[in-house]
Every structure is written in C-alpha cells, then in structure tokens.
Amino acid sequence: MFDPDCYNKSGGGGSQNDAKWPYRVDEWRNPTSAVNPKKPSGFNKKTVTRYTLYAPDDTPNDHSDDVMVAQAQYGGTSASDTAADMKWVTPSGFSFDTNTYGSGEYRLEVKAMSGSSENGFLLRAGPPRVPSSLPFNSSNGTDVTATGYLPMNFNQSGTVTVSLGNVPAEAAGANMSIRNFDTDVGAKSITYRCTGLPGMSWNGTLSSDGTWRTDVITIPESYPGGVWSAQYSAGNQDTSVWEMSYERVTEGQPGRVRLVE
C-alpha cells in the first residue's frame, strides 16, 4: 500500500490540509459547520481507515464465509501513520505464501471507520520486489480490480486512461452503460475505447458537480470481446467515480462487470 494513512507532513509548502503532489496526497476536511453544512458532524478530520484482506473461496458473491488473512488500520498521528506517510508499506500479515490460502481472487475490504477527510492511497499486489528499492511499474504485479464502483482522484492536472474492465463476446449486440460521477474540476473530455474494436472510439459526456451522467453504447454484433477504457482529461483535485454495466447476462456471471483500478 502507498500512503494508507491520513497523516500529512508539512513539507512542500502550502496548507497541510491540502494535497500537494509529490509531498502529500491526503486532503483534510474539517467537520460540519455553518460554513460547510454538508460535511460530516462529530468526526475527527483525520480519517481512520481499516484494511481487511480475505482469502479466495468458492463463493465470491457471498462474503459471509470469507476467511480473513490479515487486518491493518491507519489514522491519526501514531508511529505507524507517520512511518507510512508517502511511502510504500506492507502491513503485518499482508505478505504471505499463496500456498497457504490457495490461488484465486483475494478481496481487500477498505472501510472508513471515522473522520471527515479524503484518504488517498494506492495498492499493489504481486510477488515481493527484490530489492525493495526497485521502482514500481505496472508489469511487476497482478491486476487489482474494484467491484462495482471505481473512485479516482487527480493530484495534478493531466490525462489518464481509466481501465474499466473486460466485457465478454457474449455481450455483442447489447447496450452497455458507463456512468461517471462528479467529473467537473478542470474536466475537458472523455473518450471510450476497446481493445477488441481497434480504430473505434466513442465520445463520453462529462457530469457536473455532485451529479451522475450515463453514456450508453450499443456493442456491435461482431464484437469479439475486449477490455474497455476511458481516456479522461481533468484538473488538479478532481475526484470522480466510475461504473460500467451491460444488459446481457452471460452464464455464471452478472451483467455488472468488475472495474480495473
């Protein structure tokens, strides 16, 4: 995990409450007041976040029988929080032999326990990096997916490619819906593409502050399957949420797809 805490050092200048890449990625939010009535009440502004890792099993849609591998919690100004600030860390129990629990999809539940702030963090899953000082790249780990909704935050203005997930060939001819929430701060454009449909693209629609916007794409009858993505241009401090689903349900899986983080 990168920066799993909600502690900000003051390096880099500016307000310690705000994200300022590359010095900090968390954004402190004061509790509710007459000036900000929409903010949560009665909370400490440093959000406490709990990370719980579960082993794979034969009932991926039923979490009642999940086996916990390890659990870690960050928040406040403890030694573990300050040590994890703007660093890659592996909490106790989060490094293990997969022979112990088996292969398959491991589930990480991330839950905000208290607080009113935005805890920005990154995840990596895969074999240990030896030496650990090697720089991170997307080829030395495994895929990390988000079930249902994918939140994303910009710490600096730019253009990113959001991997939305795989839609199988069985969805050919069906309508696919891609929803985005709160794509507003410095947002310029959204363009959808699919690896199975080279040369084709679809323009997306930006949503406004605090609202959802849905784009509907009719998948071609000759669709071979592929991974869909959104090329999104936005500004510093833009925070958005993404969801994708398709109408046709294939055997053994729901219409909603997993979103790749």
CA dihedral 188, 155, 39, 208 (to 10 degrees): 10
Q: What is the pLDDT of residues 92-116, one digit of tens each?
A: 999 999 899 998 889 999 998 888 7
- Average pLDDT, integer, range 125-154: 73
Contact in structure between 85 and 10 (CB atoms under 8 Å): no
Angle at 7 between CA 23 and CA 78, to 5 degrees: 135
Q: Is the pLDDT of residue 225 over 80?
A: yes
Which residues does residue 233 pair with via DSSP β-bridges, in sequence order? 159, 189
Does 1.10.10.60 match the CATH number of domain 145-261? no
More confident call, 25 vs 205: 205
pLDDT in tens, 81-95: 888 888 889 999 999
Map out the domains of the chain as residue ranges. 1-142, 145-261
Q: Measure the CA–CA gap between 153 and 120, rounded to whole angstroms.
A: 8
Q: How far apart are CA 7 and CA 78, in angstroms?
A: 9
Q: Is the pLDDT of residue 39 over 70?
A: no
In this structure, the number of other CB atoms found within 10 A of the CB of residue 122 comes to: 13
d(C-alpha 152, C-alpha 158), whole Å: 13
pLDDT at 36 over 80: no
Alpha-carbon separation of residue 11 from 87, 138, 234 (angstroms): 14, 28, 25
pLDDT of residue 161: 87
Q: What burial class does residue 130 get, using C-beta atoms within 10 Å of its C-beta: 0-12 exposed, 13-18 middle, 19+ buried?
A: exposed
